Structure 1
Amino acid sequence: MDSSQRVRAIISFVHSADAGSFAAAGRALGISSAAVSKNIAGLEKALGVRLMNRTTRTLSLTEEGEAFLRQARIALDALDQAADAVVAHRAAPAGRVRISSSAGFGREQLAPALPGLLAQYPGLAVEVDFDDHLIDLVRDGYDMALRGGRIADSSLVSRPICQFTMILVAAPAYLDAHGTPRQPEDLARHCLITRRFLGGRVSPWNFVAGDGSITTLNTDAAVLTLSSPEVITELAVAGMGIAEVGVHHAWPHLQSGALKLLLLKAHHPGNFEMTLQYPHRALVAPRVRVTVEYLLDAFAQREELHVPFSALRQFEA
């Protein structure tokens, strides 16, 4: 049975299961009941199983037929979506796009990209929730999410945006008053500003030892512990102490001289990734597809998200 015959046979099978008879299926398809019966018989022969039990008056599905019907509906729906996608692709994408974003990234990176997105695709409407809590995209009805970290979920497509490099920074005024640490042990004598995540975990400060092993600094005595990396950066600029922040937060302040970088060789930059995630589907709606591609392109052009490690050396204290 070639592919075209298989499709005709599957359609005949689904219509017969829905209508309850070959005659009704034939009327719906515009073919004879004998042709419907022949199509299904050919399908059963190709599969090597009986899908339907026939009597003179009724049709009933076998257990194999029930299982096949579920999969057949999915396949036919995918074909319908493919046809719809071709038609939709020819028209301007339109509709509402729901996005979940972490608060900081949403405010600093996503929000500036939205005017250009809507100017290019005026048929779109965008709804954004700025929330650092983890959400279930499918259950909560989101089209996509911008999230940090490596979230293992086979039901999601994850498109990388950037790798976040973590650095230690302090204001020149703070270093003038308290001295510049030359090794990780020196940090014990300094005012530290640390970050606490929503789950209560404090972000560890890791360092690479001479033998390549990773050591973690005890930051329990930090003078400030905050949940907002943006506020941590602002307080470091204000001279409140030494902070660990992402390069993307510190970049404009490093360029202006408001912050200096510390212990670049010893400090471990972390393995923190920002991704754009959306649900696995046979076909992605045009409104979602164009939004994903536009945002990924916009983020790729943001200098602060892609600072090479070699460019940081010039900002060391």
Structure 2
Amino acid sequence: MNSTQRVRAILSFVQAADAGSFAGAGRALDISSAAVSKNIAGLEKALGVRLMNRTTRTLNLTEEGEAFLRQARIALEALDLAAEAAIAHRAAPAGRVRISTSVGFGREQLVPALPGLLEKYPGLAVEVDFDDRIIDLVHDRYDLALRGGRIADSSLVSRTICHMNMVLIASPAYLSRYDVPRKPDDLARHRLLTRRFLGGRVLPWNFRAEDGSVTTLNTDASVMTLSSPEALAQAALAGAGIAEVGVHHAWKHLVDGRLKVLLLDAHHPGSFEMTLQYPHRALVAPRVRVTVDYLLQAFAKLEELHVPLSALKQHEA
């Protein structure tokens, strides 16, 4: 199988995997389903492994097929990006950039930065999905994602936007009614607002002990559990209780005095990051590269993303 036949066969395989049928792949490639089947059979023969199990109704990838599909997508993207890079030498960055982000960060930090990006690069178009679940950038065909948490995905390039320090917050009205906790044990007498991730795990509240160890508070008796950190901040503003959120969710309300920080010296701020991620690629498309660079510069200027813990002292109850 020569290189031209190999590329044609790989295209047939990827399209069949995506469409779930030879007929669907044929329509996408403007060839017959028989040609698709022949191309894939030739590819399997050249590789010496079966990539798909076929029935009259379905196509199912084998384990080898799943592994080959991941690499095939990377190879085809590299060909596309090589063409884009060549064009970029004579043209400004252009094309659509698909971004995945959480609802809160997308609304508060990303969206305000987009008009400036599009003004600087008028050839770009941006498509943003607001979704708090973790997505597969390559499979779901996103160009980049903005994610918060403990990031450990070696298949992606991760650029740190900021460290996400966690803080305990409550409104002055709540504190005047229930008193200010002076030590972690005092929280047992308070109304706690906790966060549950979409996977079901409740975010623990951690504290530094006198011996330097980290202890975890039992928050099973919380009066409210929400999946959105933005909603937790709003509930705390409304006087519902004490919540733990990232500083950037609370900063403007701390500045205007509508929220107060609690137990700053004892509370452990966590080791979370907000990152901008994109797939490892031999070449990064110009439209993606300029978007990454612009957004990182824009986020670096946002005060709420870079508040040092020392600055929170003046906002402590």
State the TM-score, normalized to the length of structure 2: 0.74
Give the drift of 1:178: 0.8
Aligned to 2:31: none
User: What is the rounded CA distance, in whole Å, between the counterparts of 1:161 and 1:146 in structure 2?
Assistant: 9
CA RMSD of aligned residues (A): 2.6
Distance 1:89 1:164, change over 3 A: farther
Aligned to 2:257: 257
Aligned to 1:8: none
SS in 1 for 2:197: coil
User: What is the rounded CA distance, in whole Å, between the counterparts of 1:81 and 1:131 in structure 2?
Assistant: 27
User: What is the rounded CA distance, in whole Å, between the counterparts of 1:272 and 1:169 in structure 2?
Assistant: 18
Matched, 1:283 2:283: yes
Further displaced range: 150-159 or 98-107: 150-159
Structure 1: runs of 5 or more not aligned: 1-12, 19-60, 64-73
Large movers: runs of 4+ above 6 Å: 77-80
Instruction: Give the alignment of 1:84-233 within 5 angstroms.
Output: 85-233=85-233
Contact 2:113 / 2:298 at 8 angstroms: preserved in 1? yes
Report sequence identity in percent: 74
Distance 1:124 1:79, change over 3 A: closer
Distance 1:209 1:118, change over 3 A: same
Contact 2:98 / 2:126 at 8 angstroms: preserved in 1? yes
Instruction: Give the alignment of 1:33-72 within 5 angstroms.
Output: none
Structure 2: runs of 5 or more not aligned: 8-45, 49-73
User: What is the rounded CA distance, in whole Å, between the counterparts of 2:84 and 2:314 in structure 1?
Assistant: 54
User: What is the rounded CA distance, in whole Å, between the counterparts of 1:154 and 1:239 in structure 2?
Assistant: 42
Aligned to 1:53: none
User: What is the rounded CA distance, in whole Å, between the counterparts of 2:316 and 2:168 in structure 1?
Assistant: 10
Contact 1:98 / 1:144 at 8 angstroms: preserved in 2? yes
Distance 1:184 1:95, change over 3 A: same
User: What is the rounded CA distance, in whole Å, between the counterparts of 1:181 and 1:126 in structure 2?
Assistant: 46
Contact 2:151 / 2:273 at 8 angstroms: preserved in 1? no
User: What is the rounded CA distance, in whole Å, between the counterparts of 1:256 and 1:87 in structure 2?
Assistant: 50
SS in 2 for 1:140: coil
User: What is the rounded CA distance, in whole Å, between the counterparts of 1:167 and 1:81 in structure 2?
Assistant: 43
User: What is the rounded CA distance, in whole Å, between the counterparts of 1:101 and 1:233 in structure 2?
Assistant: 19
Distance 1:79 1:239, change over 3 A: closer
User: What is the rounded CA distance, in whole Å, between the counterparts of 1:134 and 1:297 in structure 2?
Assistant: 24
Contact 2:84 / 2:286 at 8 angstroms: preserved in 1? no
Aligned to 2:314: 314
State the TM-score, normalized to the length of structure 1: 0.74
User: What is the rounded CA distance, in whole Å, between the counterparts of 1:156 and 1:148 in structure 2?
Assistant: 14
SS in 1 for 2:85: helix
Contact 1:89 / 1:286 at 8 angstroms: preserved in 2? no
Q: What code does the residue aligned with 2:215 have?
A: T
Aligned residues: 254
The structure with the larger Rg is 1
Distance 1:168 1:79, change over 3 A: closer
